[in-house]
Amino acid sequence: NAGVTQTPKFQVLKTGQSMTLQCAQDMNHNSMYWYRQDPGMGLRLIYYSASEGTTDKGEVPNGYNVSRLNKREFSLRLESAAPSQTSVYFCASSELWTETGAYEQYFGPGTRLTVT
């Protein structure tokens, strides 16, 4: 099993360009997440999809859109990239939480994005 895969691994964009980051998981998980990681700040949640057909904003959604294409795939789109979006982006998946709390998340290898 590949687990969580992300494409591309690296990307350089000019300010104002758009792009879509792709994520797929083969663990039959219901929930998927997009995070960004900046130096010294840990991971911050951009958007998540608790289950197929639903998406919700996380802590830092401005400038991003998402699509839950099917149970396996969850994409993140930057419509008009800005230098502040230079970051490492991680996709993750997990079982849907229950009343006892969240389950462990499985992470992809990340996409390193630079916006000039």
Partner 1 sequence: SQQGEEDPQALSIQEGENATMNCSYKTSINNLQWYRQNSGRGLVHLILIRSNEREKHSGRLRVTLDTSKKSSSLLITASRAADTASYFCATDAKDDYKLSFGAGTTVTVRA
Shortest CB 42 distance to partner 1, Å: 4
Which H, E and C letters describe the chain, residue by residue?
A: CCCEEEECCEEEECCCCCEEEEEEECCCCCEEEEEEECCCCCEEEEEEECCCCCCEECCCCCCEEEEECCCCEEEEEECCCCHHHCEEEEEEEECCCECCECCCCEECCCEEEEEC
Residue 34 lies near partner 1 (rule: CB under 8 A): no
Nearer to partner 1, 14 or 104 (CB): 104
Nearer to partner 1, 56 or 79 (CB): 56
Stretch that binds partner 1, among 15-23, 43-51, 69-77, 79-87 (CB under 8 A): 43-51
Window 63 to 92, contacts with partner 1 (CB under 8 A): 90, 92
Size of the site for partner 1 (CB under 8 A): 26
Residue 19 lies near partner 1 (rule: CB under 8 A): no
List the one residue from 12, 16, 27, 59 that touches partner 1 (CB under 8 A). Answer: 59
| Largest pairwise CA distance in the chain | 44
